[in-house]
Chain A
Amino acid sequence: MIGMLYARMRRFMRRILTRPRIDLPLAAGLLMLATVGLVTLYSAGGGDLRLVGGQAARFVLGAALLLLISRIPPTVLRSWTPWLYAGSTALLVVVAILGEGRGADRWLDLGFMRFQPSELLKLTMPMMAAWYLHPRQLPPSWKDMAVVGLLIAVPAGLIAKQPDLGTALLVAGAGGFALFLSGVAWWRIGLLVGIAASMVPVGWHFMHQYQRDRVLTLLNPEADPLGNGWHIIQSQIAVGSGGIFGKGWLHGTQSRLDFLPEHTTDFIFAVFSEEFGLVGVVALLALYAFIIGRCLWIAMEARDTYSRLLAGAIAMSFFVYVFVNGGMIAGMLPVVGVPLPFVSYGGTSAVSLLSGFGVLMSIHANRKMHD
């Protein structure tokens, strides 16, 4: 009995460790992005090498996770999916109970480290949506759509209640993209979007005052330039003063002199824009576009529905990060705590993103064979 289990483990491990699984263009894109991130972080952090070192360590950990996950075949991932989804959602419930009455508590303390269970959902959510849609007739029926909607609504609702609207949006988006890619008819999409739009006043009613302030501030940041408007104004000053070619690396005054808040985390894109200008911004966005495009390419090449939907959803939610963060620092979108992938300094974001790319690598390795 034990011998049999041991033999199975060995077989599994050998499979994981022997097959080459890496898509080189995607890996190169990610490496470039990580380099840009570290270089920008060095400037934003005022030349603090410990900050850069810590971030690099996270990248290494993330890369290791990426390699590990890339060797897990999508079929295995698919078989684990319901458990992973249920587990991560359960953790959200635990956080909700533990964090009761303590304001915004998103963290789970494991003793040796703290992590946000909501971060897990960024991956398990599209996995679950893909898992559910995988055996179904596509495009999905109203019933299937409703089920996926429910699967999305439970964790997204829990996260929104933490309250972490930014992550809730990303998680819901990831599930929604799976639905979109599964081929839901355009008119149904239109109908849903219309209903969602009509629900905005209701949502407004349930929002926290600070969340409403963020939206109102976006419309007129100068109304409270030293309070709510400070982030938006200072961020736009940083971006705008960068001009076409930027002030040069390490020469961004807005961040160096602390006018720009949270300039190593959520607002690091403003530092990048200030120092590298429009040329840098367009180049960086192009790099993101390349990575997203490559991911969608991998998705199209994928072997089955599960892999396709998962890869596509991960790729498209990656775009949401970039768009929401960029829109925020450019004063197009309200201030939401969404980091710029691989550039913002921070905890679990880099690790969870790289895990997602690990899944993509695995899907790539198990693509359709054109023979």
Chain B
Amino acid sequence: MKKRRALKDPRGEAALFQRRSLVGFALIVLGLIALSGRFFYLQVMRHDEFVTRSENNRVKPKVIPPARGLIYDRNGVLLADNVPAFRLEVVPEQVPDMSAMLAQIGAVVPLDPDDVADFRKRLKQSRRFESVPLKMHLSEDDIARFAINRWRFPGVDVVPYLTRHYPYGQLFAHVIGYVGRIDADDLKRLNPDRYQGTSHVGRSGIERSYEDMLHGTPGYELVEVNADGRTQRVLETHAPVPGKNLYLSIDVRIQKATMAAFDGRAGSAVAIDPRNGQVLAMVSVPSFDPNLFVNGISSADYKALTTAPDKPLYNRALRGVYPPGSTVKPFLALGGLAYGIRKPQDTVLSTGEFCLPGASRCYRDDKRGGDGVVDMVKAIEKSTNTYFYKLALDLGIDRLSEWMGRFGFGRKTGIDLEGEENGILPSREWKMEHSRQPWYPGETIIAGIGQGYWAVTPLQLAHAVSILAGKGIPRAPKLVMATQDGVDAPKLPVPNPPTGPSLVSDPAHLDVIKQGMEAVVASGTGAKQFIGFPLVVAGKSGTAERFSRTTSAYDTNKNTAYLAARHRAWFEAFAPADDPKIAVVAMLEAGAWGAEAAGPIVRTVMETWLATPEGASARPPPAPAVPADGPVAAGRGATQ
């Protein structure tokens, strides 16, 4: 080819163009073949890999949390319910700018600083593709406003959920407890597979101790999602197994009446069916609204609860320890009989003062001048200290604490709740362990009237009384009487077998103690409180001193308010005395005298119980010869 041509050469140019075109076309075909090769590589060689990735894109497993089991009272009254609610959830990986989102969404759905702080904490703990709740319990306004603005917030969505609701509020706060949001510590302890998608866990009470049964097993569904992670349709569903429903042995009517009887005064009461250990009522006053805790309690509410002087969060029934005072006397008397140290007819002269030989300090009776000559029944009826000082001395501290320990003092009762206190059962070992001091005989004497080192919880005492009432057969108190797999499934009773053989070798011993306790109610310290009550009640009051005495002088101040500030008032009782079906203990933190202050509470519990079907069966058949106004109690009283 010449470098330069003088003239245009149309034919040559056409030929040149033709060659170039053919070369160009060849290059184009080569290019298209290369492109096809690339498609072959992607669509054939790497096909499986991309199919998997496309499926992973499209199909996401989604956990369906199980519905938490419901909690009913013994008659099927709903005490803990699941109600539908809505919350705001965020999928972190779909939010382009988290800080900006949080700043902007506040204008749409009002957020507390608590919510945001909580959310940020959860954000650190969760994986990027898992949704994290931002705000619980949205109002209808919140939902409506968010619906309009949803497009502005990719990765944020309103999600329905079931939230726990306690229709009786504070009535069961110390029994059922409450659920709370799962936090970092819970995450460490809980099985992550079972708790996927679950936001709440039992924090206290039944909700905590029966967490395993109440929770259930999560199910899952395979859903098709789009690129925003929004569900398009459900491909497969594996239903969750809801938690078991629980039936408490508590009767909501008794519980309510018991709570009301306290009239806001701090204290606690526990009622147990001695035949099976079932708890019929368990109250700690004051109480609180457990619903506050479910969706995160506000710091103001929490502060109010923790700083209240009478500590509403404190479960007195389970954790409050108090000197039992005279309530231990019937147990001690039974110990005297069991060890053969006392016969029922053995008497003691009460002069108002009891002194150890050679000791300068003496121990007094409640009554100046004493009760005169008393036998065992009389000593229980009159609560004669001198009788029990001597009995305690004769038993000795070792046998005393060994015997009382059998009734569950000084250790947990084994009720189906967590967080029980042990209390203190005075003993040589306990003292050595705690103060590295030997035991002094004087300490045995005051242990005989439930003072000194003694510390018991209301539940412990109720437990002991129910053993006494239940023919000495030891049995742990139990709150849950039946479980149920679903609303329509049959109720499965929860057995509560005795923990050992009867503590009483001779039933005659028990009759003596009962006789003494019946006398307490008929003519003794508790007589005024049970006038007109249709059943024979066996009871014992206790007035424990909050502070140790500095002198042995009688305190002559009879002002009730003054005494109430110094005394704990106890009353323990069971009925009907000859075939006990209910055992009750009531305690007021500030009560002048045991029977006067705590007795009426016990009576209220028993009266309410009598009105229930279980209680009605215990009512004596109406005898035409007997006058209407509580003839039985009066009649027994006359025999004393």
One digit per residue, 1 when the CB lies within 8 angstroms of any chain A CB and 0 when it does not, for chain B 562-600 equals 000000000000000000000000000000000000000
CB distance from B187 to the nearest CB of A (A): 26
Does A16 count as interface, using CB distance less than 8 angstroms? no
Q: Is the CB of A278 within 8 A of B39?
A: yes
Does B46 count as interface, using CB distance less than 8 angstroms? yes
Which residue in chain A gives the minimum CB-CB distance to B56?
A237
Residues of chain B contacted by A138 (CB below 8 angstroms): 8, 13, 16
A112 CA to B21 CA, complexed, in Å: 41
Known: A273-B39, A288-B32. A183 touches B57 (CB 8 A): no
Interface of A is mostly: helix
Q: Is the CB of A289 within 8 A of B32?
A: yes
Interface residue total, chain B, C-beta cutoff 8 A: 43
Q: Is the CB of B50 within 8 A of A308?
A: no
Contact of B47 among A240, A253, A289 (CB under 8 A): A240
CB distance from B491 to the nearest CB of A (A): 47
One digit per residue, 1 when the CB lies within 8 angstroms of any chain B CB and 0 when it does not, for chain A 311-331 equals 010001001001100110011
Q: Is the CB of A258 within 8 A of B35?
A: no
Q: Is the CB of B57 within 8 A of A312?
A: no
Residues of chain B contacted by A181 (CB below 8 angstroms): 17, 20-21, 24
Does B58 count as interface, using CB distance less than 8 angstroms? yes
A355 CA to B472 CA, complexed, in Å: 107
Q: Is the CB of B16 within 8 A of A244?
A: no
A73 CA to B51 CA, complexed, in Å: 53
Q: Is the CB of A312 within 8 A of B21?
A: yes
Contact of B54 among A237, A282, A300, A330 (CB under 8 A): A237
Known: A258-B227, A285-B35. A278 touches B44 (CB 8 A): yes
Interface residues of A in 230-259 (CB under 8 A from B): 234, 236-244, 253-254, 257-259
A254 CA to B55 CA, complexed, in Å: 9
Q: Is the CB of A300 within 8 A of B51?
A: no
Q: Is the CB of B24 within 8 A of A312?
A: yes
CB distance from B101 to the nearest CB of A (A): 16
Q: Is the CB of A323 within 8 A of B42?
A: no
Does B368 count as interface, using CB distance less than 8 angstroms? no
A305 CA to B14 CA, complexed, in Å: 8
Q: Is the CB of A323 within 8 A of B35?
A: yes
Q: Is the CB of B58 within 8 A of A239?
A: no
Q: Is the CB of B51 within 8 A of A240?
A: yes
Residues of chain A contacted by B47 (CB below 8 angstroms): 240-241, 243-244
Does B228 count as interface, using CB distance less than 8 angstroms? yes
Known: A226-B93, A319-B28. A244 touches B44 (CB 8 A): yes
A54 CA to B44 CA, complexed, in Å: 35
Residues of chain A contacted by B38 (CB below 8 angstroms): 327, 330-332
Does B124 count as interface, using CB distance less than 8 angstroms? no
Contact of B24 among A254, A289, A296, A322 (CB under 8 A): A296
Q: Is the CB of B57 within 8 A of A253?
A: yes
Among A136, A185, A332, the most chain B Cβ lie within 10 Å of the Cβ of A332
Does A168 count as interface, using CB distance less than 8 angstroms? no
Does B226 count as interface, using CB distance less than 8 angstroms? yes
CB distance from B223 to the nearest CB of A (A): 11
Interface residues of B in 42-95 (CB under 8 A from A): 42-44, 46-47, 49-51, 53-54, 57-58, 93
Q: Is the CB of A257 within 8 A of B224?
A: yes
Does B345 count as interface, using CB distance less than 8 angstroms? no
Interface residues of A in 151-197 (CB under 8 A from B): 177, 180-183, 185
Interface residue total, chain A, C-beta cutoff 8 A: 55
A234 CA to B42 CA, complexed, in Å: 12
Known: A183-B16, A289-B29, A330-B35. A236 touches B93 (CB 8 A): no
Residues of chain A contacted by B54 (CB below 8 angstroms): 237-238, 240-241, 253-254
Residues of chain B contacted by A309 (CB below 8 angstroms): 17
Q: Is the CB of A281 within 8 A of B57?
A: no
Does A67 count as interface, using CB distance less than 8 angstroms? no
CB distance from A199 to the nearest CB of B (A): 22
CB distance from A255 to the nearest CB of B (A): 10
CB distance from A16 to the nearest CB of B (A): 27
Among A138, A239, A241, A309, the most chain B Cβ lie within 10 Å of the Cβ of A241
CB distance from B141 to the nearest CB of A (A): 30
Which residue in chain A gives the minimum CB-CB distance to B53?
A237
Known: A243-B47, A316-B24. A308 touches B32 (CB 8 A): no
Q: Is the CB of B21 within 8 A of A278?
A: no
Residues of chain A contacted by B4 (CB below 8 angstroms): 137, 141
Which residue in chain A gives the minimum CB-CB distance to B57?
A259
Residues of chain B contacted by A149 (CB below 8 angstroms): none
A237 CA to B43 CA, complexed, in Å: 9
Q: Is the CB of A240 within 8 A of B46?
A: yes
Q: Is the CB of B32 within 8 A of A285?
A: yes
Q: Is the CB of B24 within 8 A of A257?
A: no
Which residue in chain B gives the minimum CB-CB distance to A297?
B21
Contact of A293 among B25, B225, B227 (CB under 8 A): B25
A322 CA to B40 CA, complexed, in Å: 17
Does B126 count as interface, using CB distance less than 8 angstroms? no
Q: Is the CB of A323 within 8 A of B43?
A: no
A182 CA to B17 CA, complexed, in Å: 6
Known: A226-B93, A240-B47. A289 touches B28 (CB 8 A): yes
Among A135, A253, A331, the most chain B Cβ lie within 10 Å of the Cβ of A253
CB distance from B108 to the nearest CB of A (A): 24
Residues of chain A contacted by B24 (CB below 8 angstroms): 177, 180-181, 296, 312, 316
Does B36 count as interface, using CB distance less than 8 angstroms? yes
A278 CA to B46 CA, complexed, in Å: 12
Q: Is the CB of A241 within 8 A of B226?
A: no
Does B232 count as interface, using CB distance less than 8 angstroms? yes
Q: Is the CB of B53 within 8 A of A241?
A: yes
Which residue in chain A gives the minimum CB-CB distance to B25?
A296
Does B5 count as interface, using CB distance less than 8 angstroms? yes
Which residue in chain B gives the minimum CB-CB distance to A134?
B8
CB distance from A173 to the nearest CB of B (A): 12
Contact of B28 among A278, A292, A299 (CB under 8 A): A292
A270 CA to B39 CA, complexed, in Å: 10
CB distance from A47 to the nearest CB of B (A): 15
Q: Is the CB of A326 within 8 A of B51?
A: no
Q: Is the CB of B39 within 8 A of A239?
A: yes
Known: A226-B93, A241-B47, A257-B224. A180 touches B29 (CB 8 A): no
Does B18 count as interface, using CB distance less than 8 angstroms? yes
A182 CA to B18 CA, complexed, in Å: 10
A171 CA to B17 CA, complexed, in Å: 21
Residues of chain A contacted by B226 (CB below 8 angstroms): 257-259
Does A277 count as interface, using CB distance less than 8 angstroms? yes
Extra A-B contacts (12), CB below 8 Å, given A137-B7, A241-B54: A180-B24, A181-B21, A183-B13, A237-B50, A240-B50, A253-B57, A258-B226, A281-B39, A282-B36, A305-B17, A322-B35, A331-B38
Residues of B within 8 A of A (CB): 1, 4-5, 7-8, 10, 13-14, 16-18, 20-21, 24-25, 28-29, 31-32, 35-36, 38-40, 42-44, 46-47, 49-51, 53-54, 57-58, 93, 224-228, 232
Q: Which 5 A-B pairs have the closest CB atoms?
A: A240-B50, A241-B54, A257-B226, A183-B16, A258-B227
